[in-house]
Structure 1
Amino acid sequence: MDIATVAIYSDSDADAPYVKEADEAVALAGNAPSQTYLRDDLIIAAALRTGCDAIHPGYGFLSENAPFASACAKAGLIFVGPAPNVIASMGSKILAKELMAAAGVPVLSGITIADDEELKSDIGDEAGRTVGYPLLVKAAFGGGGRGMRAVNNPDELIHAIASARR
């Protein structure tokens, strides 16, 4: 493909193979992701300074961050990944499920409860009829297992929903 590569790296990744194999490498001072790999301003500045045309975000960190994808476009850089609106849509389990169902993709049955929605006293019975026990309560914007609560009976449901809302 004859495409030159520029790698960014934190202090602790300075000797990583990907850094040595890149055509050029830019240090992002610090070790914590909040100082380095999550700093879209530093990453975009490094890309512009080195003459990059595109940013491939890899996985994790900013790869699922719609504002980062938008910032790349605003800076005149190609974001190698989904469009910002697609990233935002897939970041919400509720919206993602609605989009998949509308496209004819089979989705699991469930109940959607808005954050500000008052819980009905019979929510446990409704969940039992609709989904069945045991069931899983998932926060709409949780990821990587965060915000998931296993529920075995109606008595546990209200607490699990309250916990997922936090």
Structure 2
Amino acid sequence: MSNSKSALKKIASKHINKWRIKNPIQSRLNGGILNHLQLEDLTVGGFENQILLLNDFEKEIKLVKNFDKEDEFFKKEILRSIKLKKYILKNDNPYKRSLNSYLKYITLVIYFHKENLNSHTVENIYRALVTASELKINVNLEDQKFAQDLIIYLMKIHVKDWRIKKQLDMCIKLLISISLNKEKNYLGLK
């Protein structure tokens, strides 16, 4: 193994570990270990932090000097992968388009944390829905109904703390207001 290939592997390994820390639910889907205390940051700032992480990764990879064609190919593939991930985060991010992405995430959070669903986890679910509303993403009635059912499930089955129940109730009201505003805009009412 050439020196550049081992350097590329070390850098890639370091950044994969950082990515797993920032994306514990996605990491768990890919066979990683679940951290019960950490969840994805789905805010705009969270996505910007991921882009910064990828920029650092890209800079480190570019500094590695190639010694043979295989190393050069490996380096180009890593850089191509970084470029694609940055494009998705900036331009084609499903969390910036549809509530459905948040609902999939929330469902996974509930599934992976079913044995240890605490107030921190529920607060994170609430923040995810608030982020969705702040981005003014598309909310159809089916998504709204599914989100309400998820929230009601959490309130009835898992949440004992009245403050968290209040936050979840605010979530339902938030979802209703988003869909009502969309309908008013569609009908030309304001």
If the TM-score is normalised by the length of the shorter chain, which range does it land in?
Answer: 0.3 to 0.5
| TM-score normalised by structure 1 residue count | 0.33
Which structure is larger by alpha-carbon Rg, 1 or 2?
Answer: 1
Q: Which has the higher contact order (CA 8 A, sep 6+)?
A: 2
Structure number having the greater strand percentage: 1
Structure number having the greater helix percentage: 2
